[in-house]
Amino acid sequence: MTTPRPRRAAKPRKRSEGSSLPNRYVRAREARQTEVAEDYVELIAELIAAHGEARTVHIAQVLGVSQPTVTNTIRRLARDGLVTAKRYRSIFLTDKGHALAARSRARHGIVRDFLVSIGVSPATADTDAEGVEHHVSQETLAVFAAMTRKQSRRR
């Protein structure tokens, strides 16, 4: 019986200068990691504004996830300093959580307004903006905002 020869590791392919592939994938992965936190703090802020409180059961209903999923996420957000929560009590945003929720709402508004300005219906634009807002760069947001302002001045 012969032992198989170990395979040599494949040489990494050389990238051309200025290749943005790795950066693109890293940015997308980072956006996915922060997306949940941004969605939760934005929703918590909306629930508090509308109902005076945010509870695990309400978050689970709106997001369509289980209460244990919400509880685990809230623990992570508390660990990260974005919320405060006590068992069987409302969930509150910290100053850091309020700031993140405000940034997320602003990004959502810019994307939504841009989509509406290019002819997307407001309902669809609002839904689409919910996903896009987490993945667009500051440069793209600035262009969206500028184009939306330019188009609204023409009206």
3-class DSSP string for the chain: CCCCCCCCCCCCCCCCCCCCHHHHHHHHHHHHHHHHHHHHHHHHHHHHHHHCCCCHHHHHHHHCCCHHHHHHHHHHHHHCCCEEECCCCCEEECHHHHHHHHHHHHHHHHHHHHHHHCCCCHHHHHHHHHHHCCCCCHHHHHHHHHHHHHHHHHC
Residue whose token pair is 């369509």: 64
pLDDT of the residue at 2: 56
Residues pairing with 21 in the sheet: none
Share of the chain above pLDDT 70, in %: 85
Query: 17 or 71: which carries more pLDDT confidence?
Result: 71
Hey, what domains does the chain have and what are their CATH numbers? 26-154 (1.10.10.10)
The pLDDT of residue 22 is above 80? no
Q: Indicate if the pLDDT at residue 26 is higher than 90.
A: no
Is the pLDDT at 95 greater than 80, yes or no? yes
Tell me what the mean pLDDT of segment 32-36 comes to. Answer: 81
Q: What is the value of pTM for the model shown?
A: 0.76
- Residue with the larger pLDDT of the pair 14 and 123: 123
56-63 vs 67-79: helix crossing angle, rounded to 10: 110
